[in-house]
Structure 1
Amino acid sequence: MNGIINCLKPPGMTSHDAVDFLRKQLGIKKIGHGGTLDPGAAGVLPLFVGKATKAVEFFEETTKEYVAEMTLGTTTDTGDNLGHVLETKEVDVDVSSILEVLRRFVGKIEQIPPMYSAVHYKGRKLYELARRGITVERQPRTVEIFSLELIKFEKPRVLFRVSCSRGTYIRTLCEDIGRALGCGAHLSCLVRTRLGPFQIFRSFTLEDIRTCVSQGEVQKIIIPIDEALAPLMPSTRIWLKDQKLFFRGALFPAKKISMEQNAKYARIYDQDNRFLGVGEILTREDNIYLKVIKSFQ
C-alpha cells in the first residue's frame, strides 16, 4: 500500500498522533506526515503511506492556506489560546484600521519563531526550553504572505484567511498584527484549509478513515503518489532500455517532455505508463536531461 491520505486532523491531537492512528488502522509502520499542525489546530494533514514517504520533500515548499481567528486585546506566552495570559488591553479598533494593518503584512515579511515551536536551538527544540522557563534569542526568518483577507470582525475577534509560504507561524502573525494595532492579540482558532494540492473539501476525518479500513475500501481514500505529484511537476516517458540508467541515477535525454515554466522536477513513466519515480530536470547546451532523484519502484 503506497500513497497519500488527505487527513482532516481534529484539534486536540498532535500530527504524530494522527500518524500513530493510521499505523494502527493499517498495520503499517512506514507512515509519515507533511506540514506539522499544532495540537490545537485542525485541518489538512497529508499522511504518506509506504513508498510515498519518499515524496514528502516535494510538498515541503508548497503554499499553505489557513482560516484563522485572532482575539484582540489579550496576549499569551504561547501566542495562542493554550498559553497563560500575559497582558490584557482595551480594544479600540474598527474594520478600516484592521484592513489597513492587514495590507502591511502582505508580501515578504520577517518573523521571529515563537519559543513554543519545534525550531532547533543548539540541538534542543525551542518548546523544550520554553517548558523549562528558558527564553533564548531567535533570529528572524523571511516568510511570504501571498494574501490576507478579512472575513469577519466582531470585537474582539477577527476572522481572516491567509495564504502563505512554508515556515510561516500564524501565531506569530497574529501577535504581530495585534502589536501593530496597539492592543495585542493571540491566535484563538486555526484551521488549515490547503497544503499544496491537498484541500480541505477533499479531506477525510479519522472516522472516515476507520470506516474505509474496516470495510476494506482504503483505495477509495488513498491518492496514488504520481497523482498527488501531478499538480507540482510535468511528466515524461522513457523506454525499457533506459530503465537501468534511470535506477542508477545516470543522466539521460528527456525527449518530448511536457515542460512547465521553471519546472525543476518531472514524473517519469515507462512505455507501459507505469510510474517509476521523479527526476531532476537539467539543461546542458540547450538539451534537456533527467537525473533520477527518487525511485518509487
Structure 2
Amino acid sequence: MARRRRGLPVDGVLLLDKPQGMSSNHALQRARRLLQAQKAGHTGTLDPMATGLLPVCLGEATKFSSHLLEADKVYRTRVRLGEITATGDAEGEVIERRAVKSFDDDEIESVLARFRGDIEQVPPMYSALKHRGRPLYQLAREGKTIERAPRRVTVYDTRLLGRDEAGFELEVTCSKGTYIRTLAEDIGQALECGAHITALRRLRTGPFADDAMLTLEALEARGGQAEREAALLPADVLVAHLPCFEVDDMSAGRLLQGQQALTDTAGLSEDSPARLYRDGVFLGLVTVIAAGVIAPRRLVASTH
C-alpha cells in the first residue's frame, strides 16, 4: 500500500529571499514546512554564503521547474583583491596573499571586458558537481583535487558599481551554470593580484526579480495558511514565455487522458512546447506533433 504523502496539496511558486549562512535545501524545507506543502523543490542552488532570489516550486509547479533552471541570472557581488582562498569566497581559508597595485577605473573596465561574452570556466572544487557519485566539495574537504573540464558559459554584462582600496562591487548578468566565485578568481588573476568574493546576492532569475521576494520571517509573520498561500505565484509563471492554447472541454478531456487533440497551431513548428488552458485554468504543457495536432507533454495532476 502506498504511503500517503504528508502535508497539503499546495501548488505555486514562492520567491524566497534566502538568508546568509543557510543552505538552499534548508531554506527550501523551512518554506515547505511553513506552507505545510506536500512537495517542494528549488530551481538552482545558492551557496550558503549567498543571499537573494531562490524560487521555490511547490506541488504541481515542481513539474515545470526545469524551465527556470535554464534561465539567465543577475548577481551582485563584492570582490576582494589581494587574497586567494581555498573556496573562492570568504568562507575558505586564505591560501595566498599578493600585493595589490593601484588600479584606475579604466584598467578595471579593460579587464572586465575580457570576461564578457562566451567564456570558459573550470568549475570550482567546492561545488555540487559530482565525480563518481560524490559532490566535488566532499572530495575537496578531504584534500582531494579532481581534474575538471572547462565549461562554456555566457557573461552578458559585468557592471562596476563601486570600488575602494580593498576591491570592488560588480553586477553580473550571466547564463545558467556561471560560477561567480570562479569569475572573480579569474578577474583577480588577470589583475595579477588574486581575488575572492566576500558577498553574493542573486537579484534575478529569468522573469523573476528581487523586488517580489519574501524572507522566511515575512512568510511566517503572515500567520494563517490562506495568507501564506496568497504569497505564491501560479505554477504557469514558470512557462509564461511559451505560446498557449485554450481548448474546449472535449479536447481537454482527450489530452488529460493522454490522447491527441486538434487545434489551430499556425506559426508553431513540430516539437514546439506550449501551455494548455481550459476556461482559463492551466492544465500543463502540450507539444505540437504535426500541423493542427497537439499531444500531452507534462500535465498537472489536478486543477483544484
TM-score computed with the length of structure 1 as normaliser: 0.92
The separation in 2 between residues aligned to 1:268 and 1:68, in whole angstroms, is: 39
Q: Which residue matches 1:110?
A: 120
Aligned length: 291
Q: Distance in 2 between matches of 1:212 and 1:26?
A: 11
Q: Equivalents in 2 of 1:289, 1:190: separation in Å?
A: 46
Query: Match for 1:158: what amino acid?
Result: F
Q: 2:49 aligns with which of 29, 34, 40?
A: 40
Partner of residue 255 from structure 2, selected from 238, 246, 250: 246
Could you say which residue in structure 2 is the equivalent of 1:293? Answer: 297
Q: State which drifts further: 244-253 or 13-22.
A: 244-253
Give the superposition deviation at 1:94.
2.1
For the aligned residues, what is the CA RMSD? 2.0
Aligned to 1:72: 81
- Report the alpha carbon displacement of residue 281 of structure 1 after superposing the two structures with TM: 3.9
1:146 aligns with 2:156: yes
1:26/1:213 contact within 8 Å kept: no
Which residue of structure 2 aligns with residue 155 of structure 1?
Answer: 165
Matching of residue 274 in structure 1 with residue 278 in structure 2: no
Contact 1:233 1:260 in 2 (8 A): no
Residues 43-122 of structure 1: pairs in structure 2 closer than 5 A:
43-92=52-101, 93-122=103-132
The superposition leaves residues 193-239 of structure 1 with CA deviations (integer Å, 9 ceiling, x where unpaired) of 00111210111111111012447402331001123432x21211122
Partner deviation per Cα, 1:122-162 (whole Å, 9 max, x = no partner) = 11110010111111100111111111111111122210111
Cα separation, 2, equivalents of 1:245 and 1:38? 44
- Structure 1 equivalent of residue 22 of structure 2: 13
C-alpha distance in structure 2 between counterparts of 1:46 and 1:263, whole Å: 27
Distance change >3 Å, CA 65–CA 289, structure 1 → 2: farther
Aligned-pair identity in percent equals 38
CA separation in 2, counterparts of 1:41 and 1:262? Answer: 41
In structure 2, the CA distance between the partners of 1:29 and 1:156, relative to structure 1 (3 Å rule), is same
Q: Give the residue type in structure 2 aligned to 1:97.
A: E
Pairing partner for 1:128 from 128, 131, 138: 138
Q: Which moved more, 1:217-226 or 1:129-138?
A: 217-226
* More deviation, 111-120/88-97: 88-97
In the alignment, is the contact (CA less than 8 A) between 2:270 and 2:288 conserved in 1?
A: no
| Contact 2:156–2:174 (8 Å) recurs in 1 | yes
CA separation of 1:289/1:155 partners in 2, compared to 1, >3 Å: closer, same or farther? farther
Q: Per-residue deviation at 1:273? A: 1.7
Deviation of the 1:167 alpha carbon: 0.5
Structure 2 unmatched ranges of 5 or more: 1-9
The correspondence for 1:193, drawn from 199, 203, 212, is: 203
For residues 81 and 98 of structure 1, what CA distance do their matches in structure 2 show?
Answer: 21
Please tell me whether the aligned partners of residues 269 and 275 of structure 1 are also in contact (alpha carbons under 8 angstroms).
yes
2 CA distance for matches of 1:189 and 1:288? 51
Give the secondary structure class of the aligned counterpart of 1:222.
coil
- Sort the Cα spacing of 1:288 and 1:150 in 2 relative to 1 into closer, same or farther, 3 A: farther
TM-score when scaled to structure 2?
A: 0.90
- For residue 27 of structure 1, report the CA deviation from its aligned partner: 2.2
| 1:166-177 matched pairs, under 5 angstroms | 166-177=176-187
Distance in 2 of aligned mates of 1:263 and 1:147: 32
